[in-house]
Chain A
């Protein structure tokens, strides 16, 4: 109960903390009466998370009276009016915090996942041309037709699947919005959704906005393989959806064909939807990227999400998309219409040019990133980190414990202040922060000189205990 309060923003007024612990008691006591809670909680490694929003969606009279009593008392004490209870799950992101600290100490930022080099000229030129040609008004809500076609064309090249750009492709403000629209359009309050930890922080947040019950399966070093037994116990006819991020942020793991096949058969057996985040699909180094949608029987139940930002080093343009069969696309489009209505028009035109880039672009992209990766990985090993193998993305996860700091956050703060390099503490990517305390994430989406300098600083100033 106490932990709920520490997750809130420092400035949250105390009445909100008090309310949250009351309601947590309510939701736990409700579930102690059900057999399923007992049996799941007793299994090792699964955190069953009876999310508050699920029980709040049908408030009892007593609960509501408690709420209104609170707001009357706040009236009298002139506290600021209450923000929604769902915000207890929201905190200022670790990335922003680390970035400010980095600037303060003049540290090299290998934390936040965006390049310090820019996107290709031909794509930028296309955007400029679109602006000059007057393409500055609302695009069609679900995407500029030419862009939808380009997305379908690229998807066919990548997976062999033929999709209808008009009925099965939706353009969104980045993959982040695709995820939000998918959760809000396809998940009911109380639905069970399975996530693999560590996970990108927006998944948990948007699932909480949709009122989902999150079931978490932890991927563990050294290879972050999917624990099949845990997955088989977790998935049931009550599961609504499972979210897969491959190539995976932060570990760089890529789901193998075997893993995907196993997950697929469990999903078909239990009638579960799959949401995939494949934004790093073109940064696949050690094996080929496989889209779940391309497996037999899976297209009809999968939402495949991707974006322009990582592949084309234009993370600030916010161009993403979701590909799904018409009945699922419908839900995604409804939510999208109310979240942002339409996506940046000139950038969509430029993105259609980008997606028609020749194979040589992708070959060169991989080659450049592999060179950067080599610099970082060799450097981290030489410095003394235990480096875990990363098959894809531009991230690498390492064990920092050889350096004797208490946990990942302490290590990252030390790294910024004493060494002048930024990494991200991975505990923020877990439901249970304890699971991530030995690991930190470095990124290599930086120019080679920056990477070399960072490695030099660490070699010089970071000493093993």
Chain B
């Protein structure tokens, strides 16, 4: 019966992140792997959701007010106008918005440029739609974009570029220069861009997130995807959206309707409350996460990590293994679980071997097994407990 699986499904492997999480759970380890908070969601949001359920907002619906808010915040943050009536599709999380966007524009055989390392889901979606992922490696340790390498990845078949910024797993925020390189290529080649901006409000050291769509010539060819999940610590509510020119937004909306029909109704209502949050909310969110980031950097330094690149955004830290450790990322993570009871994600899962215009060689790709991703979207208590456990372990690990 195994032959009954579609060829696409057969090519998928289980998520290494989820598997490690199960292992960690069995060991009762402190989970700094999966990217969701272990602290409560904001009270004003929970109240709004409860109120929505009680007020019978429980049938299929589309809450247009969300679009009005998003149009306003897009203008405030990025300076361009979108029409709330036509340019926005509400979906079940950024995941579904992205899937719908890919199905809306990618035909079998279309090439899609992605950056390496990257979140594992993009490739899966692209392949489901019959597209061909083409990876452009970002250069460690600062994960910078090499313009020649990037331009060299385009062919006649390139349809779109995927941009996740602030980025998972590296925490990189693409610079203005880098955005201009990407925008320039898209405009010259008449390509599309699909962005994942879920960490848009988590940026540090006064760095501001700038949407690719705000660059000249880009609004007409960019599909922005984002969600409530990370900004409001409600990853389980499944409220996301796509913002794009009406032509694309309409296609995405139609696909969304066929994929899931509607995003959960009471949480759409609660989204109105979320999106009305005052500037204070975002400020304290940013400050809180920045101090967690600094705490994590410090505690990792104590056990031998040399953090060359502090994350500029997101709630992930992509740490290179201590120089004196000869372990691979997977081995090191296993050690961390077994010896210290702390879980992180081996970085190899975020790298892809078919880097464009590069011959895969042992030396140039060795770094792909030398990074671990830590999540710091955890309560202070969790981080302190992690610090304590790792502190006890200090000698054991760094002598490997």
Contact = CB atoms under 8 A, between A and B. Distances in A.
Contact of B49 (A131, A300, A339): A131
Interface residues of B, number: 76
Contacts of A337: 12, 15, 121, 124
B36 interface: yes
Given A174-B261, A344-B237, A347-B264, A141 B57 contact: no
Contact of A127 (B7, B53, B129): B53
Contact of A138 (B5, B107, B236): B236
Interface in B22-80: 34, 36-38, 40-41, 46, 49-50, 53-54, 56-61
Nearest to A11: B247
Contacts of A173: 92, 96, 238, 260, 264
Contacts of B5: 185-186, 327-328, 330-331
B207 interface: no
Interface in A68-92: 68, 71, 74-75, 80-87, 90-92
A134 interface: yes
Given A84-B129, A90-B258, A71 B190 contact: yes
Interface string B250-266: 11001101111111111
A462 B103 CA distance: 44
A136 B59 contact: no
Contacts of B46: 131-132, 136
A9 B57 CA distance: 31
B193 to A, nearest CB: 11
B53 A128 contact: yes
Give the top 10 A-B pairs by smallest Cβ distance, nearest first: A316-B265, A345-B236, A205-B258, A331-B9, A118-B56, A338-B124, A341-B95, A137-B36, A173-B260, A334-B12
30 contacts: A80-B220, A81-B190, A81-B221, A83-B247, A83-B248, A84-B251, A85-B107, A90-B258, A112-B60, A118-B56, A128-B53, A131-B46, A141-B18, A180-B258, A186-B4, A189-B108, A206-B258, A209-B103, A273-B4, A316-B61, A316-B265, A317-B58, A325-B1, A327-B1, A327-B2, A335-B128, A338-B95, A339-B95, A344-B267, A345-B236
Given A84-B104, A84-B106, A177-B260, 14 more contacts: A11-B247, A81-B221, A82-B105, A84-B103, A91-B254, A132-B50, A134-B40, A176-B261, A185-B6, A315-B60, A317-B264, A318-B264, A340-B95, A344-B238
Interface of B: 1-2, 4-9, 12, 15, 18, 34, 36-38, 40-41, 46, 49-50, 53-54, 56-61, 92-93, 95-96, 99, 103-109, 121, 124-125, 128-130, 156-157, 190, 192, 220-221, 233-238, 245, 247-248, 250-251, 254-255, 257-267
